Amino acid sequence: MTWRLRTEAAQDTSEVLVNEALTDTDWITAAGILVGSLLLAVLVSRLLRRVIAHAIGPGFASIMMARLTGYAVFLVGLFYTLSTLGVRVGPLLGALGLGGLVVALALQGLVENFIGSIILQARRPFTLGDAVEIDGRLGIVADIDSRTTLLHALDGTQIRIPNANVVSSTIVNLTREPVRRSTLEVGVAYDTDLGQAFEALETTFAHVARVVDSPPPLVTVTGFGDSSIGFSLLYWHNSDIPSELATRSDLTIAVHQALTAAGITIAFPQMVIWGGVDEGSPYEAAPGPVTTSYPGQSGSVSENKRRIGTQFRRAGRRKPTD
């Protein structure tokens, strides 16, 4: 058994190596090819990085794509160098392929995140500095590396999301466009003159400098609520989050001032407490018999009862026919 294993190992070695004596010229040629491949890989990597950065912008994608291309050029030169030294590249590639498969299975998560980073840099759903909402998490994009996307949340915390999750999640880019629209809801009492309330709310936009004039703002009546009649103020503002918060604050103050000046009550949930006994009952006498006419019912209640009883008795006297 030991002799068989040694024989197989010797055969595998003979498949990879060629039994030929190497001269000094062969070693010099192989060294020249290796050095030339290294220099060519560096040159191609730098040129490709500039081209990609000019096409899609600087970032992780240009760096990684340039590096991968440089590695590929160097590997081609390395294999050619080995073939010059008498190494059979075919069996060697087979062994490397099997080992690469094992490594890929062991590093599946890292590979998914790495590919996700390349997809994000190539498709560019967001860039550094954009305010985004990824799978319910809101923050400013600070960095995209080979494994995670870093967000700076509004409360000062840092959020790292795996790139594979980012690619498969819903991405809302809040700052891709220069302006975006927000909505402010307000309710007025039911006895309010809606025309007057409508005019008062329309004047509030002119008092808030952060509200963008184009597209123009809009006031709509949303419907009847539990305690109020609802209005929606649709307005546009700069897309960054500080502008959104500041505009909402200013508009809320302006709405309160305008409705108060017009004598309009901003409705709020109300509850009526009942003690259980009302003074002055609507019924003047004690309750008596209650008889309500109904379609199909004629005569008094006693006659209807006798009619129903007779029908049941007659039905009981019937005999089955032969």
pLDDT tens digit sequence for 173-202: 999 999 999 999 999 998 899 999 999 999
pLDDT tens digit sequence for 61-107: 666 677 778 778 877 887 777 777 776 666 656 656 655 555 555 55
> Has residue 286 been placed in a domain?
no
CATH of residue 48's domain is: 1.10.287
Looking at per-residue confidence, does 130 or 283 come out higher? 130
> Has residue 272 been placed in a domain?
no
> Has residue 142 been placed in a domain?
yes
pLDDT tens digit sequence for 5-46: 344 444 444 454 554 566 777 778 878 888 888 888 888 888
Last residue of a domain, one of 61, 77, 106: 106
> Has residue 225 been placed in a domain?
yes
CATH of residue 195's domain is: 3.30.70.100
> Has residue 100 been placed in a domain?
yes
Shared domain check, 192 and 230: yes
* Longest CA–CA separation in the chain, Å: 130
pLDDT tens digit sequence for 140-175: 998 887 788 899 998 989 999 998 889 888 899 999
**pLDDT at position 5:** 38
Exposure of 310 in the CB half-sphere (CA atoms within 13 A):
6
Average pLDDT over every residue of 302-316 = 54
Last residue of a domain, one of 261, 277, 300: 261
- What DSSP letter does each residue of 73-95 carry, written as one string? HHHHHHHHHHHHTTB-HHHHHHH
Judge whether residue 57 has pLDDT over 80: no
Looking at per-residue confidence, does 292 or 251 come out higher? 251
> Has residue 320 been placed in a domain?
no
Percent of the chain whose predicted confidence (pLDDT) is above 70? 67
> Has residue 278 been placed in a domain?
no
Check residue 226 and report its DSSP letter.
S
Shared domain check, 132 and 90: no
Q: How many domains does the chain have?
A: 3
Rounded CA-CA distance 211/234 in Å is: 10
Shared domain check, 235 and 160: no
Judge whether residue 255 has pLDDT over 70: yes
**pLDDT at position 40:** 85
> Has residue 313 been placed in a domain?
no
**pLDDT at position 260:** 93
- Nearest-CA neighbor of 205 among 241, 254, 245, 239? 254
**pLDDT at position 208:** 93
Last residue of a domain, one of 213, 243, 261: 261
Rounded CA-CA distance 251/233 in Å is: 9
Rounded CA-CA distance 63/67 in Å is: 6
Q: What's the mean pLDDT when you consider all of the chain? A: 77
Shared domain check, 143 and 72: no
Shared domain check, 216 and 144: no
Percent of the chain whose predicted confidence (pLDDT) is above 90? 32
Shared domain check, 152 and 75: no
CATH of residue 131's domain is: 2.30.30.60
Shared domain check, 166 and 92: no
Judge whether residue 256 has pLDDT over 90: yes
**pLDDT at position 115:** 80
**pLDDT at position 4:** 45
Spatial CB neighbours of 40, under 8 Å, sequence gap ≥ 6: 73, 77
Full residue range of the structural domain in which residue 223 is found = 179-261
